[in-house]
Structure formats: structure tokens, C-alpha cells
Amino acid sequence: MNAAFTALVLLSLSLMTVVHPADALPTMISGVANAITLCLKLTAIYAVWLSVLKMMEATGLDKKLSRGLRPVIRRLFKGEKDETYDHIAVNLSADMLGMGGVATAAGIKAMASMCPADGRATDNMLLLLVLNATSVQIIPATVIALRAAGGSSNAASVLLPTLISTTVATVTGGLLCKVFAAKDRHRPAAATCPPTPPRNDRRRSSARRPRKSSAIRRQCALATKDGTTP
Amino acid sequence: MSIYILPVIFVVLIIYSLIKRVKIYDCFLDGGKESLSLVVTVFPYIAAVFVAIELFRASGLSEIVSRWLSVPLSYLGIPAELSELVLLVPLSGNGAIALLEKIITEYGADSYVARCAATVTGASETIFYISAVYFSKCKVKNLRYAIPVALFSSLFGMVVACALCRVM
């Protein structure tokens, strides 16, 4: 983020100095002003959705949801705490339903609960980020409203292409994450498990594969959490 | 149809909470309190991203870059009119929506370009904003492959979206 931010700001500001230097400061201030407006809106959105989330937690509904999605989520995000799985379940399902506010709130909680001590993002954190950044969209409500306002004869006709293309993007993102994670796993010296066979498309292959290795993997995940190699 | 989904979810959740004897008022108090502290943590990240984006657009750099991009993008089947949108989508949700509005009024809502634009906008998330905000409570220095992977996958999604708009 540091490099991206610096490059973007430096390049834009240099260009601005040449083209319209008087606008530089007002532009930066209006950027922050926009951020404040958004934050006020977000406070309201979070207040409602976090309350809903609190109710889900208090009634144990998030655990139920998480248990339903557990087989998929556990396979994707290996070796995390139960609490993390609950947050991830809420995050991903809210994302798909287009409830951005609750997805962000749960996502931040999930990230915080996976936070490593050494400041190097783990593969699971990156996977969660990528899945969110390419999230499957079932109902793109704003876009449909805009099209209807623009006089479209069939405003909802973008539903299916959106659904398909976001699914393609999410699957691509997930697979690429697994590929990079497997590549990295051979390098670092940290206490990792003996490299699981480089099957990157676990989602697809797991249906066909017998589940004998999952017990080993779980053991392995437990052991890594304790900081010892099995 | 879909306008009923959210209210129904809320009603069902509140009834379920009543059955489970959860104190609903207290849940709302907690939610309100937590939202304030969450926004306070998230604010600097949003402010930084917004300053960068605002500068990027106001300086005219985004126009220049999108002009460069339009040629390689058109090889991928993404119309040249969309190049600024493609560039803006991972940066700013509001910016992308504003641009989509402009494209719809300029080309007509049912034109190929506008349909592509709608699909691309609807299908995308603001990657930089998400990565700034999600890591706000957990400081990590090194995001490794996350951003390239996310950008590539969503670009791939956009290519698929534009191809689908041709036939659907």
C-alpha cells in the first residue's frame, strides 16, 4: 500500500504542479472531506449492521451459519480458530447478498483474529482479502436502479452477466491465491507443515479425493498453531 | 420481490432473538458503540485512499493513463470507452458509479457500451479501499501477492463480462 500510495500521489501532484497548481491543496482537502462524509455514512451503516451482527452472535445464529458453511470454509482457510470461521462465514455470505456494511464489519473482525505477530500477512488473510475484492454479486442493486433511471427497457438484464463474471473472477482469485500460497510454502523457513501436495484447486479436487488426508491436515494445522512441527 | 428480503430478515431475526431471550435493545446499544470505534480506526485509511484518488482524477493523470490503456484493453474485448471506468473501479466506488451514470446518459442505457459498463461496475469491488480498511485493525506490512492477484482476477472478470454482454 505504501508504494502504491506514494507513487499515485507523487505522480498526480507533479502533473498538477505543471497543469493547474492552484488546485493541489483544495483537491487534497476535498478528498479528506469526502472521506469524512463517507465515514459518517459508514457510522450509520455499521451501527445498524453491527447491531444485527450482535443479535446474530447472541442468538448463536452466526455459529449455525458458520457450521453450515464450515466444510467449504475450513477447506479454503485451513488451521484457523472457530471464532475466525464464524466471522468469515458471516463476511462471505453478507458479501454475496450485497450487504456491504455487515461484510466489512465481519471482515475486519476476521482479519483481526487471524493477525500474525510478525506483520507478514498469512495466506489465509490474503485469500479472504482476494475473495472479498472479487466477491460474487447476486443482486447489483445500485447498477440496476441507475439503468432503470436511464430509461432502459430491461434494467435487470445485467443480472446474469454480472453473476457469471463475478463468479469467474472469484474462482480465478481463489485459485491464484492457492497457487501463490503453494509456491511460497516451499520457501519460508517458518514452522510450516510438510508441504501438502501441490493441489491448488482443492475446491474441485476434494470432491473426488478420498478424505483420508484431512485428518492429517487437521493435526498438522493444530501443531502449527502451537508453533511446533509435527 | 427483492425489496422484501431485508425487512423480512430483520423481522425474523428479531422474533428469533425474542424466542432465544436475547436483549434486543442492548444489542443495538453495543452495535452503536462499536460502530463509532470502528469508524475511528478506519477513518485514516479511507482519508488516505480518498486523497490519492482525488488527486489522481483531478490532475488529469487518470485520463492520460486510461488513454494508454484503451489500446491493450480493446485487444481484450473491452470497449475503449470503458477504459477510464476500468481504471477507476478498483479505486473508488462512488467515482465508478458517477462515471457509469455519465456513460448511460451519453450512449443510452441499452447500448452495448452502457451494458458493458453496468456489468463491469456491478461486478466490481473497490480493491484498494478494501485492502486498506480490512487491515485497519491488524497492521501488516507486507501484503505480498494480494493486490496483483485481486486486480488480475477482476480484470479477467471484466473481460468475461464484456464478452457476455455481446451475446446476452
List pLDDT tens digits, range A55-92.
888 898 888 888 888 888 888 888 888 888 988 998 88
Q: How far is A112 from chain B (nearest CA, A)?
A: 5
Q: Can you give the pLDDT at residue A187?
A: 62
- Kindly state the cell numbers that stand for B63: 485520463
pLDDT single digits (tens) A166-181: 999 999 999 999 999 8
**pLDDT above 60: residue A212:** no
- Kindly state the cell numbers that stand for B80: 475503449
Q: Can you give the pLDDT at residue A188?
A: 54
**Closest residue of B to A173, CA-based?**
B153
**pLDDT above 80: residue A195:** no
The interface predicted TM-score (ipTM) is: 0.82
Mean pLDDT of B69-97: 86
Contact A88, A77 (CB under 8 A): yes
Burial (CB count within 10 angstroms: exposed 0-12, middle 13-18, buried 19+), residue A117: exposed
**pLDDT above 60: residue A197:** no
Using a CB–CB cutoff of 8 Å, tell me whether A201 touches chain B: no
CB-side neighbour CA atoms (13 Å) of B17 = 22
Mean pLDDT of B106-128: 88
* CA–CA distance, B35 with A50 (Å, rounded to integer): 7
Q: What percent of chain B has pLDDT over 90?
A: 21
| Greater model confidence, A215 or B105 | B105
* Cβ-Cβ contacts under 8 Å, B52 against chain A: 5, 8-9, 12, 31
The dihedral sign for the CA sequence A181, A67, A54, B4: positive
* Cβ-Cβ contacts under 8 Å, B161 against chain A: 161-162, 164-165
Q: Can you give the pLDDT at residue B113?
A: 92
Helix (H, G, I), strand (E, B) or coil at A1: coil
**Closest residue of A to B132, CA-based?**
A1
